[in-house]
Structure 1
């Protein structure tokens, strides 16, 4: 499985709270609403950094992790009409498209302890 990580910065003038709310309450459901998400996406996670004393201030406002079984599934998803016409146009409403940092990872889980 391939993990695609996208580091994103909110648009100018958008508060941190509005950015998080938009990402979680609007964009993520929109992303999941297209049939291609059900078919090709294996896992979809949105995260937002928390400022903690003793750690540097976050350089990005959000992290999106999307897991696909293959590059073919990734390419099919992102070239689909639904993604291009419904999801992609929404992205510029809350993050700076020209400042996205992307990583493709082959994730190896070393330990996964679920807290009850």
Structure 2
């Protein structure tokens, strides 16, 4: 199960990096919940779709440094770079804690911090 969850997340992230948000969303449950700690909570696939359309004006670049799995949980630690609404590339460090349900991304708790050069 842990190996499968890692493979699922890697494949899903590759789809986002290729600009295929709908392909990524196929890996999510309909009632997926995403919490960006200290920022916002998204409830449901449609809310995530709208967020991705707004935040990913260009596909983000992921650098996953570690994947740590236990049971239905998978933690991804790494860096992500994406453009803001002015087109400036911003670099972030992140720690995403995913909960899987029957092989799908059901819940995300994301800790994201901008890397100041």
Do both share a fold (TM > 0.5)? no
Quick check: which one's strand share is greater?
2
Larger radius of gyration: 1
TM-score (norm 1): 0.38
TM-score (norm 2): 0.37
Quick check: which one's helix share is greater?
1
